[in-house]
Amino acid sequence: MNKPNILQIMSDQHRFDCLGVNGHPLIQTPSLDRLAAEGVNFTNAFTPCPMCVPARCSFLTGQWPSQHGVVFNYDGETLKQLSPDTTPTVSGVLSETGYRTAQVGRWHVDSERSPSDFGFDHFQSDWDYHAWRKDQDLAPLPTMPECWSGQTDDVAPEQSRLAWSADRAIEELETAVTENRPFFLRWHTVEPHLPCFPTEPYASMYDPADIEPWLGFGDTFESKPDIQRRMLGAWGVENWTWEKWAPIVARTLGLITQFDHEIGRVLAALDRFGLADNTLVAYTSDHGDMCGSHGMVDKHFVMYDDVVRVPLILRHPDLSAGTVRDDFLSNAIDLPSTFCVAAGIEPPATFTGQSLLEPTGREDIFATYSGNQFGAYSQRMVHDRRWKFVWNLTDINELYDLETDPGELINRIGDPSAAAELARLKQRMISWLESVQDPMLNCFTRKQLES
């Protein structure tokens, strides 16, 4: 077989549980469900950092944020940006070995450098959609400050940003057919990141009255970090009932279904151009979304599964169709190595992930966070099949029994009956921090984990 093409479809802020194949009782996602039926659905995939820019830098470098150094969003409190001159990237490696490389849609990696600085031959930015929309005499999309909770976008579905970006991705596929070399195409969307602007019929597809609260809704924040309660006030949602949240969730579900329709169009183009049989397709998201769970908005200052657990589906000729895998993985850490191995390339030594073409053998996974928007706030998480430990360096730590408390409502950090599990997870955390040379572990902070 020739070197496989690689199509990476990545959304922004898509919860693991908002897929039909992952058990959501209402949402319609036939295209992604089909992709899972034809490939592998990973049920224990996690982001290395529940924030856009650090996670997206990990997708390029195969490194944890503490390794590549980008720990904040560049539109927040930037301390460092990724250096393509000193850090190997999957796009650069594939380009050097003959792949045609293209990026369509959201970049959100570097505020000064473009994809061309990181080994991409072609780039079509999602920002170009706004000029296209103006040329079509369409009203502009509202902005986050004026409408963070979203609304209906009064254009036809084919005029939406999702459809426009899918059209650009399909154009890239059509161009790739004419070139005698494999392609690496990343189609990254802004959606379903809030604020959600679905068009009809998707905007009214889901009745808010039919949507049940998330398992984490109704949190009292007893014995939890104080910043979580204060975040409700920062967003102005501290007294919101589920009746106020349900319409926002309904729009989110509608936008995901609209996105799924566009994914179907891109997958159909793969079939139409005769590319499907030799293309590795990966679908995932940079992180999840609180979307009302725990009464919260967005994703900051928490390590709940709402934001750290993500969908991941792979379709590849060497993977058994219809397989479900529950081994632990970090999507942004492991996919760069996966793409290299699939292409017959040895991953750079700086890539810290494993190829997902074989089981990882992991029994736990980690995530990191360093703050943003409201200030620095360091967190590290270890998550195994039953327990989750969150190390909050400047506040109370968190320990959740996910078997008895899947909504993560009860912090067991002070429970004597969970002391043995806590001690075990702290030692596991120390070992991992040492393995990645995380700068948050030093002679002072180590005492917190060893106590």
Structure tokens at 243: 């009746």
Tell me how far apart the alpha carbons of residues 10 and 107 are, in angstroms, rounded to a whole number.
Answer: 11
**Tens digits of per-residue pLDDT, 103-159?**
999 999 988 889 999 999 999 999 999 999 999 999 998 777 677 899 999 999 999
On whether the CB atoms of residues 355 and 334 are closer than 8 A, the answer is yes
Tell me how far apart the alpha carbons of residues 294 and 302 are, in angstroms, rounded to a whole number.
Answer: 10
Tell me how far apart the alpha carbons of residues 163 and 160 are, in angstroms, rounded to a whole number.
Answer: 5
Domain membership flag for residue 383 = no
Tell me how far apart the alpha carbons of residues 32 and 314 are, in angstroms, rounded to a whole number.
Answer: 10
Tell me how far apart the alpha carbons of residues 237 and 243 are, in angstroms, rounded to a whole number.
Answer: 12
Domain membership flag for residue 233 = yes
Dihedral sign for Cα 57, 59, 61, 62, please. Answer: positive
Task: List per-residue pLDDT tens for the chain, 451 residues long.
Answer: 589 999 999 999 999 999 999 999 999 999 999 999 999 999 999 999 999 999 999 999 999 999 999 988 876 655 677 877 788 999 999 999 999 999 999 999 988 889 999 999 999 999 999 999 999 999 998 777 677 899 999 999 999 999 999 999 999 999 999 998 999 999 999 999 999 999 999 999 999 999 999 999 999 999 999 999 999 999 999 999 999 999 999 999 999 999 999 999 999 999 999 999 999 999 999 999 999 999 999 999 999 999 999 999 999 988 999 999 999 999 999 999 999 999 999 999 999 999 999 999 999 999 999 988 778 899 999 999 999 999 999 999 999 999 999 999 999 999 999 999 999 999 999 999 999 999 999 999 999 999 8
Domain membership flag for residue 61 = yes
Domain membership flag for residue 388 = no
Domain membership flag for residue 435 = no
Indicate the average pLDDT of the chain.
95
According to DSSP, residue 185 is labeled E
Which residue reads 């309904």 in tokens? 250
Structure tokens at 359: 């089981």
Tell me how far apart the alpha carbons of residues 245 and 264 are, in angstroms, rounded to a whole number.
Answer: 29
CATH number at residue 83: 3.40.720.10
Domain membership flag for residue 450 = no
Domain count, the chain: 1
Residue 14 structural domain: 5-363
Domain membership flag for residue 411 = no
Domain membership flag for residue 396 = no
**Tens digits of per-residue pLDDT, 265-282?**
999 999 999 999 999 999
On whether the CB atoms of residues 242 and 284 are closer than 8 A, the answer is no
Tell me how far apart the alpha carbons of residues 353 and 366 are, in angstroms, rounded to a whole number.
Answer: 12
